[in-house]
A and B are shown apart, each in its own frame.
Chain A
Amino acid sequence: MPYQMKVDGMEEISETLSKLEERAPSVAAQGLYEGAAVMAAEIRKGAESIRTAPFKYAGGGESRLPSPEEKEIVVSAGAGIAKFDKNGAEVNTSVGYRASGYADLNGKKKPVPLIVNAINSGTSFMQKQPFIRKAASGAAPKAMQAIKERIEQSFEAITKEN
């Protein structure tokens, strides 16, 4: 007589596996949201550390620091999280000021991304203070950890459902 072996519970496992596949995109999105939140918080913290000096025209090719009003605009705008770009199980987003709109500066409407870029990247008349790049390279491991933890939690919850 040939050797026989019976394994119970295979149906549950296959069910769980198919569930995992189904829910992978939403789990990935949840994880990414956690990571993006960490990154956005770090950028906002960086914005608060911008050095300022009272405004004066940078005439004659002089370089200047951002004025307190400009800093206030950047701090109050706050880094946001872009709409998620979903492509199957792959989810992408970006964190920044792109959708921050316009702000009033000395009675004129100025785009917030332009002010942020001038401070972060520097211009020929503004000294650079790369707070976004600093946050991005400093918070990357923290953001990855947050994403990993959230995904693991979700998977655990799904496997326990059965």
Chain B
Amino acid sequence: MPSEYEAFVAALKLTSTPVAEYGWKTRPEGAYYVVQLDFESGSMSADGVKQDRSWEGSLDLYYPKLTDGDELIEQTEELLTEFFGVSWSLNSTQYEQPTGLFHMEWVFEAMNDAEDPEEEAVIPDAVPDEG
């Protein structure tokens, strides 16, 4: 699992809005998040090994009508920017009639930690320099 994503979920859990990964067993009252990694969106292979993998995930926010001055959406987007930079977008906004909840869906892309290629490419000197 990408560490970027793990850090993002940890930061989400620090907010006052409840967070669940892969849905709720029992839905909480008021606003809440659902976050999950959806699928692998791309990968780069070299030397018969997958070197880099990118994952597409989504963050769903369900909330009843917001009151004036409630910055829930702004805070969410600030968090997304903090952890994913520019690789996120607002995918859809919906309204659920039976529950009266608003539903916003953001899609983001998280990369697996790549090993630093330069680090491996350093070849040690065959003859130690004897000064």
Interface size on B, residues (CB 8 A): 25
**Is the Cβ of A134 less than 8 Å from the Cβ of B92?**
no
Q: How far is the CA of A128 from the CA of B25 in the complex (A)?
A: 13
Interface pair A124/B26, CB less than 8 Å apart: no
Contact between chains at B105 and A124 (CB < 8 Å): no
Interface assignment of A162: CB less than 8 Å from any CB of chain B = no
B12 at the A interface (CB under 8 A): no
Q: Is the interface of B mostly helix, strand, loop or mixed?
A: strand
Known: A62-B24, A124-B99. A133 touches B38 (CB 8 A): yes
Residue of A nearest to B27 (CB): A61
Contact A61 B24, beta carbon cutoff 8 Å: yes
| A61-B28, A133-B56 given; A124·B38 CB < 8 A | no
Q: Decide: A127 and B92 in contact? CB cutoff 8 A.
A: no
Interface residues on A, range: 10 to 19
| Residues of the B chain whose Cβ atoms lie less than 8 Å from the Cβ of A133 | 38, 56, 91, 107
What are 14 A-B contacts with C-beta separation under 8 Å? A60-B26, A61-B26, A62-B26, A62-B27, A63-B23, A122-B34, A123-B96, A124-B27, A124-B101, A125-B99, A128-B36, A130-B38, A134-B39, A137-B41
Chain A residues in the interface with B (C-beta under 8 A):
60-63, 117, 121-125, 127-128, 130, 133-134, 137-138
- Seed contacts A62-B24, A128-B34, A137-B41; 18 additional CB < 8 Å A-B pairs: A60-B26, A63-B25, A63-B27, A121-B105, A122-B23, A124-B27, A124-B62, A124-B96, A124-B99, A125-B27, A127-B23, A130-B58, A133-B38, A133-B56, A133-B107, A134-B56, A137-B56, A138-B39
